[in-house]
Amino acid sequence: MPRLSDSMEEGTILRWLVSSGDSVSRGDEIVEIETDKANMTYEADADGVLEIVASEGSTLAIGELIARIGGSDGGAGSSEGPAARRAGPVAPAGEDTPAGAPSSGGAPPARSASAAPAEAAAPSPSLPSGEAPDGRVKASPVARRLARERGVDLAVLTGSGPGGRIVKADVEAAEAAPAAAPAAPAAAPREVPGPVASGGERGGGKGETTVEQLSRTQQTIARRMAEAKATIPDFQVSTEVDMAAAVAVREQLKALATDEHPAPSFNDFVVKAAALALRELPRANGAYRDGRFELYERVNVGVAVAAENALVVPTIFDADQKSLGEIALEAKALAARVRSGAITPPELSGGTFTVSNLGMFGVTQFTAIVNGGQAGILAVGALRDAAVVVDGAVVPGKRMSLTLVADHRILYGADAAQLLARIRELLEAPLALAL
């Protein structure tokens, strides 16, 4: 299993694009893998005959064997391709460390499945398929951790991984399965309806429960949001922006827009204003990490996009140096790739600040959760008509709320207020966004 993103710990094989026994050439797409950030297509880095080891739907830790590319006879004699050499020596089948696991220093290019000698996955003929030479149960590190967390005894499981190794899917299946019962007779008696719960519904007052398994992306979102909420001491500051001038400027831009150059959205205005303000206030373009401040050279603004059953944050790199038109084109293209499932991990990494906008749903104000490795996130409410007082008279106006959620370890109250005030100033004088 290759490492296809910097935060990837394991991957799920979604679909093999070629069959076992097929000949492949270097650069051929052979498998589609679901990572913690996106679905990625993986390419062969050697010529030969493909031998599939891990089936579709299998979830394996980084470095575990998913396939071999061998010689024309189907053997593994030529499987020591570039990917295998990068991975290093293969650990014995009974060890906890995945064979050839890459270091965490970075993601290798998506080429071919890390090949390994055939013996790496083959169990000893004198031992049970799930037992290592030293008597320990063979299981992936992820399966061991999950078993500890959920109280599952690995010794009673049958592994479906290479060489009988227990993988994450085996632990999840064991947890979902009902407790073992005595063997039932051939003709089981018909089930007699049980008592009705006090709430008036069978099985309890909540009625029938449907359990949905999380996708890899949803698991990552859940884990990171819980970590951020538990570890980042955040606070919020809010303001209202007079958007009348921005509305007028955008109407002029819409009149000049074409299919190739669409008019910027109000969210694009916010992204540009935030990027310029971050450039002026460097500590806001940083993060607190391990007892020190990290200040980032580039201003890369992440834009939260609602995908199917997930929230994905693609990055607009160097947003402070791009024009409104460039930001509009890039943001539109990134959102389209998110919703089509074509977004790539590099496009989801490297953000130094995040903008989250729920205004299109009519939400006027909200707070968001700060992403780890960033100093803050800007929550943008709906642009709305409002009665405002100007020179003692009540007149119609355009207002939009902004809420900055900041990590108090790096941004203090005055810092956050200064950043938010600067964003408001730029939005209220939108021609400054073109300078």
Q: Cβ distance 397 to 242 under 8 Å?
A: yes
353 in any annotated domain: yes
Residues 426 and 281 in one domain: yes
61 in any annotated domain: yes
Q: State residue 127's pLDDT score.
A: 43
**Cα four-point dihedral sign 344, 345, 351, 354:** positive
Residues 398 and 272 in one domain: yes
Domain boundary among 126, 155, 182: 126
User: pLDDT tens digits for the chain (435 residues)?
Assistant: 888 776 678 888 888 998 888 888 888 888 988 877 677 788 888 888 999 999 988 888 888 999 998 865 444 444 444 344 334 433 333 344 443 333 334 444 444 333 333 333 434 444 444 555 445 677 776 777 777 777 788 788 887 776 677 877 788 777 766 544 444 444 444 554 544 444 444 556 888 989 988 887 788 888 889 989 999 999 999 999 999 999 999 999 999 988 888 899 999 999 999 999 999 999 999 999 999 999 999 999 999 998 877 888 999 999 999 999 999 999 999 999 988 888 888 898 999 999 999 999 999 999 999 999 999 999 999 999 999 998 899 999 999 999 999 999 999 999 999 999 999 999 999 999 987
CATH code: domain of residue 60: 2.40.50.100
Residues 111 and 243 in one domain: no
| Chain mean position to CA 343 | 11
- DSSP line for 158-185: ---SGGG-B-HHHHHHHHHSPPP-PPPP
248 in any annotated domain: yes
Q: State residue 135's pLDDT score.
A: 55
Residues 283 and 421 in one domain: yes
Please give the residue range of the domain that contains residue 107. 10-126
Q: Helix, strand, or coil here: 82? A: helix
Question: Can you name the residues that pair with 222 across neighbouring β-strands?
Answer: none
Residues 233 and 105 in one domain: no
Give the total number of structural domains in the chain: 2
Residue with tokens 């989250």: 356
Q: State residue 334's pLDDT score.
A: 94
Residues 118 and 237 in one domain: no
Question: Can you name the residues that pair with 311 across neighbouring β-strands?
Answer: 306
Classify residue 291 as left (phi > 0), alpha (psi -120 to 50) or beta.
Answer: left
Q: Which residues are catalytic?
A: 408
Domain boundary among 126, 152, 180: 126
Q: State residue 165's pLDDT score.
A: 73
Q: State residue 350's pLDDT score.
A: 92
Q: Helix, strand, or coil here: 110? A: coil
| Chain mean position to CA 39 | 10
206 in any annotated domain: no
239 in any annotated domain: yes
Nearby residues of 226 by Cβ (< 8 Å), 6 or more positions away: none
The Cα–Cα gap between 40 and 63 comes to 16
Domain boundary among 126, 146, 163: 126
172 in any annotated domain: no
CATH code: domain of residue 258: 3.30.559.10
Residues 427 and 278 in one domain: yes
